[in-house]
Amino acid sequence: MKETLIDVKDLCIQFQTPGGTVKAVDNVSFDIKKGEVFALVGESGCGKSTTAMGIMQLIKEPGRIAGGSINFEGKDLLQLTRDEMTQVRGKEIGIIFQNPLDSLNPVYTIGYQMTEGLLVDKMDKKEAYKLAADMLRDVKISDVEERMKTFPHEISGGMRQRVMIGMMLCRNPKLLIADEPTTALDVTIQAGIIELMNELRKKYDSSILIITHDFGIVADIADRVGVMYAGNLIEVGEVFDIFDNPRHPYTRLLMKALPTITKEEGRLETIRGSVPNLAEERPGCGFADRCPYARDFCHHQKPELKQISEGHMCACHFAEGGLKDEQ
Ligand code: SF4
């Protein structure tokens, strides 16, 4: 069995708002093994990106990490000082965001930005330049010498995202967090970026936490997947287990909403209702108002995330006994 790289336990992230305390991430626990790709999936606002920002400790006021632990290679990231955490960011855990233009500095060249982190690590200037140029070749950028001298606005969106991936991998982090890395790109460029990430994970043996709302991307790259809903992790399992045998009603409905070329039906299924207000106290299951299988007690008793078979966990009162179709 592979060694665990990061173990997130009971992570709680809250935001104080005029409408009350929003529990954006509520007792979320998962781990990622060395060399593994773990996907966090769910609709917008379910807490996936906030979980990633919590791991990086980039939660800004009025938000705060209200509880839990994040054990990374024997140290709890939540107990580190600001300076210690600065050493972890970029060097041990790298993050790439949806829009690389927000992450790249418009007034510095690609070469400057690629080598900056390496120079902070006290690498010799020439060596840093060579490593950065080799990395650009690895992420399939052509004409590397020229590209090192260009500014971010002079290259395409797909190329910028490749540069960001290369920049993060330059410092060889043990964990790469990719937060919706392909959402801002068109479909063919998306496929290229996912293929590239697959190649690089094998070459550099990095663990990846990928955050996405797209099950197609999950199928292409992930080993295991965690489904989030309203700040909670509601199902976790091996990717093929989740696709073949989704046990939580929300996961099932998400699967039904997937377009496929073999489906005959005209309109795609939708999930009725909307995500609950996270500032309101919910004693029962967060999905109860939208769930076609809900019973009265679902509104009062919160289901725990429990193991239902090896490596497969689900938070639904009926996950173990099985759901009878559309009650
Ligand atoms: Fe639906 Fe009840 Fe399961 Fe929640 S616990 S997902 S409401 S059946």
Q: What is the pLDDT of residues 6-15, one digit of tens each?
A: 999 999 999 9
**CA 316–ligand 1 middle distance (angstroms):** 5
Of all residues in the chain, the percent with pLDDT exceeding 90 is: 57
- Is any atom of ligand 1 closer than 6 Å to the C-beta of 317? yes
Maximum pairwise Cα distance, the chain: 68
Q: How buried is residue 79: exposed, middle or buried, by Cβ count under 10 Å (0-12/13-18/19+)?
A: exposed
For the segment 208-248, what is each residue's pLDDT rounded down to a tens digit? 999 998 888 898 889 999 999 999 999 999 999 999 999 99
Residue 249 — very low, low, confident or very high, per pLDDT cuts 50/70/90?
Answer: very high
For the segment 146-167, what is each residue's pLDDT rounded down to a tens digit? 999 999 999 988 888 888 888 8
- Is any atom of ligand 1 closer than 6 Å to the C-beta of 30? no
pLDDT at 262 (0 to 100): 64
For residue 131, give the amino acid letter: L
Residue 263 — very low, low, confident or very high, per pLDDT cuts 50/70/90?
Answer: low
- Is any atom of ligand 1 closer than 6 Å to the C-beta of 287? yes
Checking if the pLDDT of 38 tops 80, the result is yes
Overall average pLDDT of the 184-213 stretch:
81
Overall average pLDDT of the 248-254 stretch:
92
Q: Whose CA is nearest to atom 3 of ligand 1?
A: 316
pLDDT at 327 (0 to 100): 45
- Mean pLDDT estimate for the chain: 89
Higher pLDDT, 313 or 101: 313
Task: Please give the structure tokens belonging to residue 247.
Answer: 């046990």
For the segment 130-147, what is each residue's pLDDT rounded down to a tens digit? 999 998 988 888 899 999
- Order of strands across the sheet with 20-33? 20-33, 4-17, 63-72, 75-76
**CA 136–ligand 1 middle distance (angstroms):** 48
**CA 132–ligand 1 middle distance (angstroms):** 50
User: What is the reported pTM?
Assistant: 0.90
Overall average pLDDT of the 89-107 stretch:
86
Checking if the pLDDT of 47 tops 50, the result is yes
pLDDT at 152 (0 to 100): 93
**CA 286–ligand 1 middle distance (angstroms):** 8
pLDDT at 265 (0 to 100): 61
Of all residues in the chain, the percent with pLDDT exceeding 70 is: 95
Overall average pLDDT of the 310-327 stretch:
80
- Is any atom of ligand 1 closer than 6 Å to the C-beta of 298? yes
Checking if the pLDDT of 75 tops 90, the result is yes
Task: Please give the structure tokens belonging to residue 326.
Answer: 């559309």
pLDDT at 324 (0 to 100): 62
Q: How many whole angstroms separate alpha carbon 237 and alpha carbon 314?
A: 9
Checking if the pLDDT of 326 tops 60, the result is no
Q: Which residue has the tokens 């996950």?
A: 319
Domains of the chain: 4-92+173-323 (3.40.50.300)
pLDDT at 209 (0 to 100): 95
